[in-house]
Structure 1
Amino acid sequence: MSDNPHLYINVREVAVGTTDEKTVSLSINPEDIEKATLTRPLTGTITLFKDDDGVYAEFDITAHVEEICERCLTPKTFKRELSFERLYTGEPDKKNFAEHELPGTFQIDIFDDIKNELLLTTPLKIVCEEECKGLCEKCGENLNKHPNHKCKIK
């Protein structure tokens, strides 16, 4: 894992009271996101709206993540659609956990927000297919590849 990975987006050009949509190709090193292996760069849009309260960001991001099926131990790539919102302010409101501080540089580090959303959308139990038969409990044969398997181990 890299030390303190960052992914900045500049919001200086967004005029107060206007909306700016940015199409982004986000390059995040797979090792920077624990428990997730990205098979290609994240893509999507980030819609920004700036007012006197700060910058409101609406994220619509697509991730392709390789995960291991818990039944048959086969890797499979899953497409994840991430849609979430954040409010970046100069003074975080302690009552609203979704607000993040907007630094004086007008560059917002969105890495942790994207990483956290990606990890939050990970299912508790990952299976390649709902009908996955898993492995033979005696010999470990993949029952999806050999559905007529009759184990000879007693």
Structure 2
Amino acid sequence: MCSSSSSSYALSVLSNVNQALYPKTMHSQEDAGHTVHVADLKWLPLVPSIWIKVIKLVPETGEYTIMVRAEPGGMLPRHRHVESAEIYVLKGSGAHPQAGAFVAGDYVSESKGAVHDPLPFHCETELLMVSRGPSAFLADDGEDMYMMDVDMLQALAKAAETAV
């Protein structure tokens, strides 16, 4: 069942996430933290019908925080978590082949080394993902096709900026 409600808790979490890639979207005092105005960030294409917003990148550790928006019919490709990730479901629903079904308000923990089959979305779904490191998108034979990591996310965001 698709849910269109959005959690105010999730929005407050988003408003407190800091990031360095989009300094124009945050306010800060030295060492006091940052507020990211996520609504001002652009949706960037990841794969057909799957979009992301880059919220925070930590090149020193490889960690990143993104929002993921899947349109109905979108499919997240088969992937492997090189490091663990945590996901909060903001809107919609899905059925992860390995981690189980989820709806708005659910929390999903993805373990280091976990391999996940393609994840189809049947309704518009938004997720907040905090990853401790890269995820490898996999070919049918299990070989790495490409990495979603800090470098890839920086390049994607910069390409979108120059296209404007």
TM-score, normalising length: structure 1: 0.26
Larger of the two Rg values belongs to structure? 1
Greater helix percent: which structure? 2
TM-score, normalising length: structure 2: 0.24
Per chain length, whose mean CA-contact separation is higher, i.e. which structure has more relative contact order (CA < 8 Å, sep 6+)? 2
